Structure 1
Amino acid sequence: MKIAVLGTGSVGPALAAALSGLGHDVVIGTRDPQATLARTEPGRTGGPPFSQWHASHREIAVAAFADAAAASELVVNATNGTASVEALTEAGAANLAGKIVMDVANPLDFSRGFPPSLNPVNTDSLGEQIQRAFPEAKVVKTLNTMTNSVMVEPGRVAGGDHTVFVSGNDAGAKAEVTEILAALGHTDVLDLGDITTARGAEMILPLWLRVWGALGTGEFNFKVAR
């Protein structure tokens, strides 16, 4: 499958490498490909500079948002949540129409420092905002409740015995995303319902941040025991 991963922080490259490793044709989308490829500073979370990462993943192309989305069959939104709608607008509504948009971002608001709050919250979600902005896309919220290393290698935590959620209006899109999650190694995929249920998945983040602070590591996840 041709997959565009939008975002060059820590999550986008991790997912791009994992999906490429599964045999997909992957391109990373960014606002300015040349500036991104020239980046030599470490990532915000201490990861390697993008240029260094890309030197080890030459099979993954780097393109502008619109070019990446246009050439894809599925788009992964791994951009900063507060700028996701803007980034997807740059990707182009026509380039997203009829395609699955796998949204893994969180709308974290750092305007008052750390820990961040959520915006929107309670009566709306980023997943819903994206679906409203791009009504012809098939938005599926998933993977936003864990750190990127666990997204792509769930066996790092409890042998993989933990839960990943999906939310979306299109049953077929959720089924395709579930297949991708299974290929990544996720064994417990819980369908929460339509895209409004993304509110619950996103609202896990305040708890996630406190657990991260208590444990001193992001390598954990939640399990729905039933």
Structure 2
Amino acid sequence: MIKSITHIALTLSATVYTANAATTLATLDPFIYDSEMDQGTWTHQSLTLNDGGWISSGAPLSNPTQITSFELFRDNSTSVAGQIWMAALSIQGDLTSTVAVSSHTLDVNGTAQGGILAWNFAANSLDTGTQYFFTPILDDGDGMFETDGSDTATTVRVAVPGDIISGGAGGDTKDWAMRITAVPEPSSAALLGLGGLALILRRRK
């Protein structure tokens, strides 16, 4: 009996692990910096995770999903000085509509030309069919993300490969060299795991 329970537990664990496999969405394949890319000042970009323009790899994208990282290429011009968060807003320019924010800030100017600006996220679930506005936010110096106006939307200088995903924000239809990594939200993964366990138990009857 103990052996059978162990087998079920191991199978359930494997099912949940599979459900948590990562999905990578990119505007470039491969995601490599090219010195011939145009350079642009970026304030925000509208996008949906299930847009057909993404180059997707890894596990199929689940809904809802949790983004774990957001990456851009740094260009050779100076950006706003300071520590910068990355946030996803449901309303353009409205920080009170923030639905996801990076777990840390970046000093963009401290990254070399062509280097990857990578913001990591934790426990931020997004609907894959909803349009969000990804926006760099300048920290006011206290190291805490705030939506009361003390932290403000800002600009960063990034490499621009051209139009990949249709529809930009702020009157700019260009889309940037970006890459997003996502995993299913825990509840979705758990449901898949429980489904696997239920199937096992059903077969044992």
| Range into which the TM-score falls when normalised by the shorter chain | under 0.3
More helix by share: 1
TM-score (ref. length: structure 1): 0.23
Higher gyration radius (CA): 2
